[in-house]
Structures are given as C-alpha cells and as structure tokens.
C-alpha cells in the first residue's frame, strides 16, 4: 500500500493492514499506560458498537490522543497538525497510523474533506473541540468546528473526559512523569438530538456534557490517589 506525502491525506486508507497496525499500537501503549499512569476507564459500554462516530474529548496534555487510542475498543482516526508530519520519525508514525493532517488556516479544507470521507465510511474520528491543550487542566470553551462534520455525516457524538493527564504531562513540562489518569465516556448524543440545534447551542451542549463527566473523572482521580497512598 502506497503512502501519501506528509501534506496529502489518503482517501483510500482503511484496510486490514491499518486495522492491524492500530491494534498493535494500542496494545503496545496499553500495558505501560496501565503501569506508569494507572489509566482507568469508566463507562466504556457507552462506546457505540458500529457506525460513524465523532469522539469529543477535553484536551489536557499531548498524551491525550495516545490515551484515547489505547483504550478505544475500535480503531479511530486522529487529526494532527500539519507541522507534526514534518518531523521525520513522528511523521512516519502518524502516517503509519494514517492520521489526517490539518492546517490551522484557510488551507485546512483538504483535511476537512478527508475527515468527512472517513466518517461517511462509518469510521471514528477523535476531535479535541477546545482547539488546543488546556494551560491549567481545566476545561476551556468548546469551539464549534466539529459541528459541520457532525451535521454533514449525521454522526453521533461521544463526549469523553480525561483527568490527571495535565498533572502527568502539562504544557510546560519537557517529559511526562508518573501519575494517575482517569477516563470517563459519556452518553452518546445521536443526530436526532442535535439536528435542530444551532452551532452555538450544540457547542454548549457538548461543553455541558464534557464538564459533567469531567467532574466524575476528577472524583475517580481523587479516590485513586487516596487508595494509592494508604
């Protein structure tokens, strides 16, 4: 299978090789994550068994995509900044997992079109709707960039909350440290529930859902720390 250049998304990507490679990567990361960061997952049964899906997670750290990918029961697609593909080892890894390069300007249309194609193929895409990592671990305002993707593909939305990732690897840190990370999957939001909402109201709904399960994730982190120090 040929690979696209770092600035060209691949629209004919899903196949057994990619599924196997993503599964292999998930297992490679899953074990050290369980040991080093004591990653625990709650309400994974909310993850739909099939069909297109937009996963919407809060963004505390650079390790968030790896965490969500490692615990996901299904292969997922990632959006990655175009600049990340320019660093050869990382670019190779991203292309191996067939990530979608996105530019944060008017040239982002190619990545958006590729994301739409994958959703229409009933695949799953992970998006961090805050737009960038949180500077302090708290949930930032949700941006509505995902709304067009959701409406065009009628995909259900799956809110996800991570807590502890900021303490493990905050923005200013050079290297991650040991810690505890808890992930909570919220209730899916079907298309029928948001089709009549404006983009502002849909963003507010997602903000509310993520904020709610983030409180739950924070409680799990606190409880885990208490148990760990006994």
Mean pLDDT value of segment 44-63: 96
Which structure tokens are listed for 64? 């968030």
Q: Cβ distance 59 to 128 under 8 Å?
A: yes
Mean pLDDT value of segment 55-75: 94
Put simply, whether the predicted model's pTM sits higher than 0.75 gets the answer yes
On the question of pLDDT at 14 being above 70, the answer is: no
| Pairwise CA distance, residues 92 & 86, whole Å | 9
Query: Could you give the C-alpha distances from 178 to 3, 36, 146, 169, 181, in angstroms and in order?
Result: 36, 6, 32, 9, 10
Identify the structural domains of the chain with CATH numbers, from first to last. 37-228 (3.40.1130.10)
Percent of the chain with pLDDT over 90: 63
Q: Please give the residue that has the higher pLDDT: either 106 or 17.
A: 17
CA end-to-end span of the chain, whole Å? 52
Which structure tokens are listed for 175? 């290297």
Identity of the highest mean pLDDT range in 30-34, 108-112, 200-204? 200-204
**pLDDT (tens digit, 9 = 90+) per residue, 177-198?**
999 999 999 999 999 999 999 9
Q: What one-character DSSP code corresponds to residue 189?
A: B
Buried residues in 173-196 as b, exposed as e (16+ CB within 10 A): eeebeebbbbbbbbebbeeeebee
CB under 8 A, 24+ apart: contacts of 9-13: 9/100, 9/101, 9/110, 9/111, 9/113, 9/114, 10/98, 10/114, 11/114, 11/117, 13/98, 13/118
**165: Cα within 13 Å, side-chain hemisphere:** 30
pLDDT at 222: 93
On the question of pLDDT at 6 being above 60, the answer is: no
């Amino acid at each position: 299978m040929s690979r696209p250049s770092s600035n060209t998304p691949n629209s004919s990507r899903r196949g057994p090789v990619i599924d196997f490679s993503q599964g292999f990567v998930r297992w490679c990361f899953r074990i050290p994550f369980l040991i080093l960061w004591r990653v625990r997952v709650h309400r994974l049964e909310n993850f739909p068994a099939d069909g297109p899906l937009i996963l919407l997670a809060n963004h505390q750290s650079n390790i968030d995509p790896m965490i969500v990918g490692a615990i996901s029961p299904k292969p997922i697609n990632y959006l990655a900044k175009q600049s990340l593909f320019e660093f050869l080892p990382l670019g190779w890894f991203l292309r191996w997992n067939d990530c979608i390069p996105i530019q944060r300007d008017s040239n982002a249309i190619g990545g958006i079109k590729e994301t739409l194609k994958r959703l229409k193929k009933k695949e799953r895409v992970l998006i961090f709707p805050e737009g960038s990592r949180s500077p302090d671990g708290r949930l930032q305002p949700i941006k509505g960039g995902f709304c067009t993707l959701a409406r065009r593909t009628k995909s259900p939305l799956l809110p996800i909350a991570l807590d502890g990732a900021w303490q493990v690897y905050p923005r200013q840190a050079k290297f991650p440290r040991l810690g505890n990370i808890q992930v909570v999957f919220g209730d899916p939001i079907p298309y029928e529930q948001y089709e009549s909402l404006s983009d502002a109201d849909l963003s507010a709904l997602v903000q509310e859902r993520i904020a709610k399960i983030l409180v739950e994730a924070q409680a799990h982190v606190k409880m885990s720390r208490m148990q760990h120090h006994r």
